[in-house]
Structure 1
Amino acid sequence: MRLNTLTTVALAALVGCAGLTAATALPASAGTTPVTASSTAADFTGYQIVKLPNANVPNFTRRAVRCPAGKHAIGGGAEAQGNRAILVGSFPTEDGAGWYGIGRQDGYSDVGISVYVICANVS
């Protein structure tokens, strides 16, 4: 049931990104708060992906990639690289203009992390 809720929310976000409008209440499941899609769609222009190439950093060190000035993060991701590497976190920066990646590697003191952010002008 949790997967269906997340999928529904993701689809609603994509509908908004495509310039369509909706005023649909999404189903709530135990422990979640219902989400209502906005009745006005945002305008996205200047779409680009910015990549922070792989680099070895100490385990649990945040690596951040930022959008160019004036653009906002509309998505992102990270990859942990190495023998027994584990991605610990992948999430937007506090100001919404970048993306973090965090990882660790069992049996080693460092891990390879690359981070990506999807940027756009949002109005």
Structure 2
Amino acid sequence: MLKLAGYLNIGIAIAHLIGLFWLEKVFRIFGIEEKMKELSQIHFSFPYVATLLVAMVFFVFGLYGLSASSTFKKLPFLKFGIFLIAGIYLLRGISELVYSILNNFFPTMGIFATLIGILYFLGGLKKWKVKKK
């Protein structure tokens, strides 16, 4: 589960980097075009920098998933990191699910985020389960 979550996050990071070449179209697809236009009025590079930072976060999330699955070297605060990532994904996913129900649209990203959060959470529970004596 953690390995799959790790690879999914690295894939998301790569998708963000590829999206840099068609940034305006990607922003339009995800409904953030207006907010990014506002950012670009401050400085033209802000949407690009923001996308790079988001890609880096997804990449680090991926490394933590791979590290917890013993595919990658052990990272610091591994247990805390896995459950923090799970919490971030679950909070984001569930909040979008609720928002979409209230506003009558299909929550594609909310479902995807919730599923990745579940992968991290259940993978973490499986890895660090407490054994009863």
Looking at secondary structure, tell me which structure has more helix per residue.
2
Looking at secondary structure, tell me which structure has more strand per residue.
1
Does TM, normalized by the shorter one, top 0.5?
A: no
TM-score by length of 1: 0.24
